[in-house]
Structure 1
Amino acid sequence: MHEYSIVQSMLDLIEENAKKHNATKVERVVVKIGVMSGVEAHLLKIAFDTFKEGTLCSDAELEMIIQPIIAKCRICKKKSRFEKNEIFYECKHCGDVDLDIVDGEDMILMRLDMK
């Protein structure tokens, strides 16, 4: 389960940011998880709750924003939203299949609430 290594890296990043801002405690961690990122949200939550003990995040709440796939059509330049279970992507405006994925493939640390 690679969520454990993701959480360990995330905790290292959080601690680094907390030290930069002279924080002694992290109360909330907000991450955006793209549906095509390969990260399983429920496993990430379990890993976070396991590894946060003894860190600045020991009492922190993990908030996860699940990001669907957003693709921009190269033809009409409009964006379309797709769910993970869709197997064929075509522009929902003009029907073309020449699309660029612009969101939904990454996991991003969005916000830290620190004291």
Structure 2
Amino acid sequence: MHEMSIALAVVGQVEEAARAQGHDAVASVTLRVGELAGVVPNALTFCFELACEGTALAGAALATEHVPGRAHCPPCDHAWPTGTPPSLTCPRCGLAAAGLVSGRELEIARVSWSGATVPEEG
């Protein structure tokens, strides 16, 4: 289950940021998770709770922001929701998408502690 690896990495990064900024405890973490990132939200929440035990994040809440998948076709400048499984053929002109515009995100968006919310820097 790669959700445990993700949870451990998030806890490690947030705990390091908390120490660097002089915080003892983390109240919540918000992650941006793309629909094409291959993450099962319920499994991630379960793993996050386990990974937080005995750390500065013990008892911290996990929130996720869903990021829909979107693709772009440069020749006709059309963007569309990819859905799952992703449709990477332009519905307007039939050409293949040049790439995804969004949907593969997996990033720490916000961390809250001591009553303050600080955006996490990438």
Scaled by the length of structure 2, the TM-score of the pair is 0.82
Give the fraction of aligned pairs with identical amino acids, expressed as a percent. Answer: 25
What runs of 5+ residues in structure 2 fail to find an aligned partner? 115-122
| Residue identity opposite 2:112 in structure 1 | D
Give the deviation of 1:102 after TM superposition.
1.5
Which of 1 and 2 has higher RCO (CA within 8 Å, sep 6+)?
1
Say what the alpha-carbon RMSD is for the aligned residues: 1.6
SS of corresponding position for 1:59: coil
Partner of 2:106: 107
| Residue identity opposite 2:90 in structure 1 | C
Tell me, in whole angstroms, the C-alpha distance in 2 between the residues paired with 1:91 and 1:21. 46
Tell me, in whole angstroms, the C-alpha distance in 2 between the residues paired with 1:71 and 1:61. 32
Cα deviation, 1:25-52, whole Å, max 9, x if unaligned, reads 1111000111211211111011011121
Partner of 1:95: 93
| Residue identity opposite 2:22 in structure 1 | N
| Residue identity opposite 1:39 in structure 2 | V
Partner of 2:4: 4
Tell me, in whole angstroms, the C-alpha distance in 2 between the residues paired with 1:104 and 1:63. 17
Partner of 1:79: 79
What runs of 5+ residues in structure 1 fail to find an aligned partner? none
